[in-house]
């Protein structure tokens, strides 16, 4: 996001930046507004930086014996400087759901979906290096494709992962949440969460943006079963606490809304939270912009 047009609580319209790629002229209002969930103003226009379509794209799926091995492969890939464009973790349950929903026949173990961008030679080299890393960690075989149809089929399954998850338990409601932790703690956080899910008799596939240390959990809950709802809520609380204990955040992408307001003090501490509140009061003194969100 390069710039925004924003309608403020005063009714005035502000542009947060110009079309230059960078600026050091005053405060970064663009980043302040991005992620503010409508509490500081209403975004009416965005200026985005576009990325070109690469000359060549290769992608593929690589199975791993464990979430830990898959995460370690992702870390090693990034540390080696392989410029991986996408790297997504699906746990065994999510793979099972995708197989059924998207008519795939992937091995039902944790897998990484990866994609490389570059020249023909570049993506071949990157894919080969990634395959070697995967093998070192007990993963593989890594099959990669550069044909558009093959790639689209894989990524379509990835994009349908939420619906695939839902179909694991027809009639249930999907309670989606996400957390983000330092990448070095991701395997531990996912594995502990999977154990917690199992111990509480819940069903919850995992899908992770592993390059960021971020993962999504979709709890498939029978909302008519009060005890199950209670167990699900307990799990969500423990997950947020687990991420915070690992120096992570209670939400990497979803935002705070109302559901995660209760974690804000634990995550930010009183001084940073009060700084946010004072910015909110300064820009929206009458609390008319999406009131009751982010802060109680």
- In the window 121-180, what residues touch a second copy (CB under 8 A)? 121-122, 125, 129, 180
* Distance of closest approach, residue 56 Cβ to a second copy, in angstroms: 10
CA distance 154 to 167: 18
Edge-to-edge strand list for the sheet holding 173-180 = 143-145, 56-63, 111-118, 84-90, 206-209, 214-221, 173-180
Burial class from Cβ neighbours inside 10 Å (0-12, 13-18, 19+) for residue 255 reads: middle
Q: Does 216 bind a second copy (CB under 8 A)?
A: no
Restricting to residues 45-104, name those near a second copy by CB under 8 A.
Answer: 52-55, 79-81, 83
* Distance of closest approach, residue 17 Cβ to a second copy, in angstroms: 8
Considering Cα of 132, then 133, then 134, then 135, what sign does the dihedral take?
Answer: positive
Q: Does 210 bind a second copy (CB under 8 A)?
A: no
Restricting to residues 182-201, name those near a second copy by CB under 8 A.
Answer: 182-183
* Distance of closest approach, residue 202 Cβ to a second copy, in angstroms: 24
- Site pattern 2..41 for a second copy (x: CB under 8 A): ------x-x-xxxxxxxxxxxxxxxxxx-xx-xxx---x-
User: Please, which residue, 226 or 296, has the CB nearer to a second copy?
Assistant: 296
Tell me the two tokens of residue 43: 């975004």
User: Please, which residue, 109 or 251, has the CB nearer to a second copy?
Assistant: 251
Considering Cα of 188, then 191, then 194, then 195, what sign does the dihedral take?
Answer: negative
Kindly report the backbone phi and psi dihedral angles of residue 222, in degrees, each rounded to the nearest multiple of 5, phi listed first.
-80, 105
The answer to whether residues 127 and 142 touch, using CB atoms and an 8 Å cutoff, is yes
- Site pattern 249..288 for a second copy (x: CB under 8 A): xxxxxxxx---x--xx--xxxxxxxxxx-xx-xxx-----
* Distance of closest approach, residue 29 Cβ to a second copy, in angstroms: 6
């Amino acid at each position: 996001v390069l710039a925004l047009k924003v309608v403020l609580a005063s009714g005035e319209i502000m542009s947060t930046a110009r079309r230059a790629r960078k600026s050091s002229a005053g405060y970064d209002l663009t980043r302040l507004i991005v992620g503010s969930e409508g509490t500081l103003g209403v975004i009416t226009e965005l200026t985005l930086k576009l990325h070109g379509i690469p000359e060549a794209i290769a992608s593929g799926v690589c199975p791993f014996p464990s979430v830990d091995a898959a995460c370690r492969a992702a870390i090693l890939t990034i540390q080696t400087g392989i410029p991986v464009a996408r790297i997504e973790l699906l746990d065994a349950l999510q793979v099972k759901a995708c197989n059924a929903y998207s008519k795939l026949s992937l091995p039902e173990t944790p897998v990484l979906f990866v994609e490389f961008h570059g020249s023909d030679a570049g993506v071949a080299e990157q894919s080969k290096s990634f395959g070697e890393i995967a093998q070192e960690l007990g993963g593989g075989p890594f099959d990669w494709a550069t044909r558009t149809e093959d790639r689209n089929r894989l990524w379509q399954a990835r994009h349908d992962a939420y619906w695939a998850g839902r179909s694991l338990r027809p009639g249930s409601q999907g309670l989606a949440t996400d957390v983000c932790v330092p990448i070095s703690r991701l395997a531990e956080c996912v594995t502990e969460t999977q154990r917690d899910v199992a111990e509480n008799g819940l069903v919850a596939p995992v899908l992770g943006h592993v390059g960021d240390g971020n993962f999504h959990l979709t709890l498939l809950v029978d909302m008519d079963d009060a005890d199950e709802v209670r167990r699900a809520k307990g799990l969500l609380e423990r997950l947020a606490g687990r991420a915070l204990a690992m120096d992570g955040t209670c939400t990497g992408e979803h935002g705070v809304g109302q559901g995660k307001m209760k974690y804000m003090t634990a995550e930010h501490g009183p001084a940073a939270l009060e700084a946010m509140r004072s910015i909110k009061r300064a820009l929206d003194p009458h609390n008319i912009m999406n009131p009751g969100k982010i802060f109680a």
